[in-house]
Structure 1
């Protein structure tokens, strides 16, 4: 097998490779955030799709992720190429995703059910392209270094790019889209180009990435899935991070509604996102320090608690106003920054630990399952918020035919953004107590003897 070029030390990763890897987050963060933020309201308020149907359409393509992500993980584990096992699949995704993403918003002038079907089909193709890129992309940090804390430092760079990308998704994308079909088409075209450039940038930027993972791949998909099912650290990490991702997905879907119907200012979507991502740009060194000081599990508990508290405090927004709401989102953002950094760092630990004790390369299936569940629960957050709106009697519309919402719809908007995600995030905090892959346990991991 031909592996990527190695570096002199298995502990450190060069600045160039860090930047090359991190730029791929412009893809992963934008594709995760924009459909979660805008796809539901695009369908309900521009294409006149009923909210429950729109929520289902956003969620259904994610069921496909459970199949394609696992397969991509196995394929990348078993790939032998001069580009290494991961990068050929990243290249394939770089071709498919930008085109299908653009088509989601640059489609024919349809409304109602026909519009929902078109969006659903193009979203399904986009999800396939995303799987081809994201699954091997997430497996790479575990194979770049053997050092427990170096993985957190490496991913710190990625989180800075994630923050910038989320700012683009939350500030630039809504500003471009507005509430018109023309605006959404322009937004779709511009961000399709952003995805294309960032994905190719990461493909070429990781050409010299070190490879410290096992050389031998697990032979069968069944064996890989069995390894994931029997890995207690992986299962607990998947559960706790899924809860936090679900909470974030519900809040993301609710942000434009919260801005329009609670704050009375559609432009507040951008400032709310600035309040969310601002802490991600400045608190990453703090979370790296806390991960060393408290270990990653302790830092994860702290970050989840901050997320929960910030969401609950936002319930008082109708009485305390817009400035108060933005301050609550800052608290959420500080917690969210920690959740993002620590979740990916702990996933890299799980993959590295499995490789050390088994001697087999099967991180692709771990990241395949992770990405499938992550995408599904994030999309399910949109479905949950759509269901909350439906229970509250929210009325769908289009720009030419505005409607007056009942009082119950206004209540649903704020409950869906605050209480619902806070309870989900709290469940994630409680599950973190069961995660036990510490630095000491990682240091004691050894591969089984071979004959």
Structure 2
């Protein structure tokens, strides 16, 4: 079974103790900081480009696609470099410390609106967004990889990632619930100024939270063998790793879904519901539903297994999203209830995806003796960001296809397109993830055996 070392008895003493509350919370705050930018981009940037900066929808969608593909291209580079980084702070923590300032500055510039004319605006928007995605990758990718080296236990990782995403969705709660209110307050009728000042606040908070993450976390898991570094072998093992390939496909599809729905929701409330400001409450309530259901992830995973929980989550959540197509514009209660049910069904799968990515990295080390945590997480985020870029571009393109006109009364065709972008299209995409997860093969018995074997190798290598 294991090509590097013989199996270790299942009753072997565990190497790593449970993570403390302080460390899990400190780690989680890093994703609060990340979501200040991720959700400003995901929920508001397309709307900001078309309705505030006055960039054509098709051009805005293309900018988002190009930026995401650049983001994808830089991810593996950062993953490969971070795997080979050796400092007194570890492999991944230095990127969080030193990347925070450019991350904050570029987020502000992205939501700044110099008057360069239509062509100049498109160039400026594209340049600042590409640079922002570079800074985001340089911080967030090492941040994501950090969880895999804080503990070698899959259930500790599930608990850690639960804290991460509770904090992440608190960040989302703030952005989706308060961004427009803050923009209105700071802008005093000037939407452009309002968005810029709002992002300044989020940028300062991000700096504080990233510093807390840096000082409260510790890297513990070291490679189990001392094989020489080889990028060729690491990449070869990556594409031989069936569990990781399945997770990459799921990441692409699910992030297409997230991007389409997040980009379209502002249009849905402004033009279909006719209550533009209510989108904040819709997002806030959905985020609260996510936060409430997230703690179920670890106990459900222990009871039913990571894969089975993810499959059930994608099916039920997808069905509830599809059902959002049915209520009329005046049936607000049904719209809110379906969104709450969809988010609660979706929540347990969120930390499990990242837990399974860490498990797939362990699986490669278990089989080959080579550990490449940064590469595995960078390749996974590469796939996810590909999905996000494709989804955001699809949203912009479909708005054009359905004859959307900014700041005008929309045609029946445009309203149909907006409804589909919020309901049927994302719901069907998320349900399809269950088909891929059927073929995911790392079960509870395998993760237990991997941990024991890898811990034994690390002990013998000391």
Q: Could you state the TM-score of these two structures normalised by the residue count of structure 2?
A: 0.90
User: Structure 1, unaligned stretches of length 5 or more?
Assistant: 1-7, 397-401
Selected match of 1:26 from 19, 29, 32: 32
Q: Which residue of 2 aligns with 1:185?
A: 196
Q: Which residue of 2 aligns with 1:86?
A: 92
> Displacement, 1:209?
4.2
Residue 337 of structure 2 is aligned to residue 327 of structure 1:
yes
User: Structure 1 residues 213 and 14 mapped into 2: Cα distance closer, same or farther (>3 Å)?
Assistant: farther
Structure 2: distance between partners of 1:248 and 1:58: 14
Q: Which residue of 2 aligns with 1:443?
A: 448
The 8 Å contact of residues 55 and 121 in structure 2, kept in 1 or not, is answered as yes
The 8 Å contact of residues 296 and 348 in structure 2, kept in 1 or not, is answered as no
User: Structure 1 residues 183 and 114 mapped into 2: Cα distance closer, same or farther (>3 Å)?
Assistant: same
Residue 166 of structure 2 is aligned to residue 160 of structure 1:
yes
Structure 2: distance between partners of 1:218 and 1:33: 40
Q: Which residue of 2 aligns with 1:295?
A: 305
Please give the residue correspondences for 1:92-103 in structure 2 after superposition, counting only pairs within 5 Å: 92-103=98-109
> Displacement, 1:283?
1.4
User: Structure 1 residues 160 and 215 mapped into 2: Cα distance closer, same or farther (>3 Å)?
Assistant: farther
Structure 2: distance between partners of 1:293 and 1:148: 13
Q: Which residue of 2 aligns with 1:211?
A: 221
The 8 Å contact of residues 144 and 213 in structure 1, kept in 2 or not, is answered as no
The 8 Å contact of residues 389 and 409 in structure 1, kept in 2 or not, is answered as yes
Summarize deviations over 1:333-378 as a string: whole Å, max 9, x none.
1133122111111112112222233332201011111122222311
Selected match of 2:50 from 28, 44, 51: 44
> Displacement, 1:246?
1.5
Aligned length: 438
Residue 213 of structure 2 is aligned to residue 202 of structure 1:
yes
Selected match of 1:120 from 107, 115, 126: 126
Residue 239 of structure 2 is aligned to residue 229 of structure 1:
yes
Selected match of 2:370 from 355, 360, 367: 360
User: Structure 2, unaligned stretches of length 5 or more?
Assistant: 1-13, 185-189
Structure 1: distance between partners of 2:57 and 2:346: 27
Residue 144 of structure 2 is aligned to residue 138 of structure 1:
yes
User: For 1:435, what is the secondary structure of its paired residue?
Assistant: coil
Structure 2: distance between partners of 1:216 and 1:13: 26
The 8 Å contact of residues 238 and 364 in structure 2, kept in 1 or not, is answered as no
The 8 Å contact of residues 91 and 200 in structure 1, kept in 2 or not, is answered as yes
The 8 Å contact of residues 216 and 361 in structure 1, kept in 2 or not, is answered as no
Structure 1: distance between partners of 2:349 and 2:34: 16
Residue 429 of structure 2 is aligned to residue 424 of structure 1:
yes
User: Structure 1 residues 319 and 47 mapped into 2: Cα distance closer, same or farther (>3 Å)?
Assistant: closer
Residue 305 of structure 2 is aligned to residue 305 of structure 1:
no
Q: Which residue of 2 aligns with 1:238?
A: 248
Structure 1: distance between partners of 2:277 and 2:375: 41
Please give the residue correspondences for 1:383-402 in structure 2 after superposition, counting only pairs within 5 Å: 383-396=393-406, 402=407
Selected match of 1:106 from 95, 112, 128: 112
Structure 2: distance between partners of 1:423 and 1:170: 24
Residue 381 of structure 2 is aligned to residue 412 of structure 1:
no
Structure 2: distance between partners of 1:379 and 1:34: 15
The 8 Å contact of residues 72 and 385 in structure 2, kept in 1 or not, is answered as no
User: For 1:20, what is the secondary structure of its paired residue?
Assistant: helix
The 8 Å contact of residues 80 and 375 in structure 2, kept in 1 or not, is answered as yes
Q: Which residue of 1 aligns with 2:187?
A: none
Q: Which residue of 2 aligns with 1:56?
A: 62
> Displacement, 1:72?
0.9
When structure 1 is superposed on structure 2, of 71-80 and 188-197 the one drifting more is: 188-197
User: For 2:326, what is the secondary structure of its paired residue?
Assistant: helix
Structure 1: distance between partners of 2:225 and 2:265: 45
> Displacement, 1:73?
0.7
The 8 Å contact of residues 21 and 205 in structure 1, kept in 2 or not, is answered as yes
Structure 1: distance between partners of 2:20 and 2:114: 46
> Displacement, 1:239?
0.9
Residue 265 of structure 2 is aligned to residue 258 of structure 1:
no
Structure 1: distance between partners of 2:449 and 2:15: 20
The 8 Å contact of residues 313 and 346 in structure 2, kept in 1 or not, is answered as yes
Structure 1: distance between partners of 2:267 and 2:183: 15
> Displacement, 1:218?
6.1
Please give the residue correspondences for 1:64-75 in structure 2 after superposition, counting only pairs within 5 Å: 64-75=70-81
> Displacement, 1:387?
1.6
